[in-house]
Amino acid sequence: MQSVTVDGVDFAYGSGELILKDVTIDIRNPQLISIIGPNGVGKSTLIHCMNRILTPRKGTVMVDDVNVEEYKVKELAKKMGYVPYSANDTFPLTVVDTILMGRNPHRKWKSLHDDMQVVKEVLEMMDITPLAMRPFNELSAGQHQRVMLARGLAQEPEILLLDEPTANLDIRHQMDVIRLLKQLSVKRGIVVIMISHDLNIAAKYSDNIIMMSEGTIYAVGKPVDVITPESVKAVYGVDTDVVLSDGRPHMMIRDHGFSEEDAATPEGSTVSGVTTSGMNG
């Protein structure tokens, strides 16, 4: 059974300030895990330490109980996939070629035909079949996101790390992607670890949530235990009401200090209502 174990990890760029401070976490069994926390608390850094993009200053990272440093690059890529937040498109490829990159760890001399079957499947899963032969740079931000996800899925990893997979997506595609990730964890037995800024989506679908604050882990556990008005206030500094819906926490922002007068327009300017009158249709 797959596992990711982070043990006493400190990380800093060069001799700079510590971004991760003595982080310890043990992830086992197929599940969907969300890492939440404000900007700049080290969520991406933690993920990058897990997949060896960054090397911790202190502590160890184990994947399937083997130190991550000991893996050959292709072996690690077979175990662990990564979907970055943004994609580079200096030299854009077609969507198919971009997704085929993900097949690299599995690729053999004559395996293109087999690899194409996987590509076809993930094109369907991500709802981007009609875009297959389009150049990457002609796509919208949301379409980029889905192509990057497809690339990660084509890699067929046992552990999938995702950096804000639902950013840039409309609500329907957000739902589709999260449901898909949840399904992967259940049906294919994959450990899915994603960074999320949408606490309600994280709460609704995650099996466990890791809440980070200033380079440390503030809380770990079931959504209902982690997302509370107290923890959200402590970590984000925002007042919220949390209600339970289907046994899952649902958070609503409470901002009683805000009134319409605070947002009043400066004197002399007028703001007209937004209407559709006079427009076509």
Residues that bind another protein (CB under 8 A): 48, 51-53, 73-74, 76-78, 80-82, 84, 87-94, 96-97, 101-102, 104-105, 107, 113, 116, 119-120, 123-124, 129-130, 132-133, 135, 137, 155
Select 118 or 203, whichever has its Cβ closest to another protein.
118
Q: Taking the complex as a whole, how short is the minimal distance between the CB of residue 260 and another protein, in angstroms? A: 44
Select 168 or 216, whichever has its Cβ closest to another protein.
168
CA geometry: angle 105, 108, 109, nearest 5 deg:
145
Please give the C-alpha separations between residue 189 and each of 11, 28, 79, 159, in angstroms, as whole numbers. Answer: 30, 11, 13, 9
* DSSP code at position 257: T
Q: Taking the complex as a whole, how short is the minimal distance between the CB of residue 257 and another protein, in angstroms? A: 40
* DSSP code at position 114: H
Select 125 or 178, whichever has its Cβ closest to another protein.
125
Question: Following CA atoms 89, 90, 93, 97 in sequence, which dihedral angle do they give, to the nearest 10 degrees?
Answer: -70
- 188: helix, coil or strand? coil
Q: Tokens standing for 161?
A: 């790390």
Tally of CA atoms within 13 A in the half-sphere of 132 that contains its CB: 12
Select 34 or 79, whichever has its Cβ closest to another protein.
79
Question: If you count DSSP H runs as helices and E runs as strands, how many of each does the chain have, helices first?
Answer: 9, 12
CA nearest to 193, candidates 213, 168, 212: 212
Q: Taking the complex as a whole, how short is the minimal distance between the CB of residue 6 and another protein, in angstroms? A: 17
Q: Taking the complex as a whole, how short is the minimal distance between the CB of residue 90 and another protein, in angstroms? A: 5
Select 59 or 92, whichever has its Cβ closest to another protein.
92
* CB contact at 8 A, 233 and 65: no
Q: Taking the complex as a whole, how short is the minimal distance between the CB of residue 208 and another protein, in angstroms? A: 23
* CB contact at 8 A, 181 and 34: no
Q: Taking the complex as a whole, how short is the minimal distance between the CB of residue 203 and another protein, in angstroms? A: 28
Q: Tokens standing for 90?
A: 């200096």
- Measured CA to CA, the distance from residue 232 to residue 219 in angstroms comes to 11
Select 109 or 257, whichever has its Cβ closest to another protein.
109
Select 26 or 124, whichever has its Cβ closest to another protein.
124
Q: Tokens standing for 152?
A: 């990660």
Q: Taking the complex as a whole, how short is the minimal distance between the CB of residue 27 and another protein, in angstroms? A: 18
- Measured CA to CA, the distance from residue 111 to residue 275 in angstroms comes to 57
Q: Taking the complex as a whole, how short is the minimal distance between the CB of residue 69 and another protein, in angstroms? A: 13
Select 38 or 135, whichever has its Cβ closest to another protein.
135
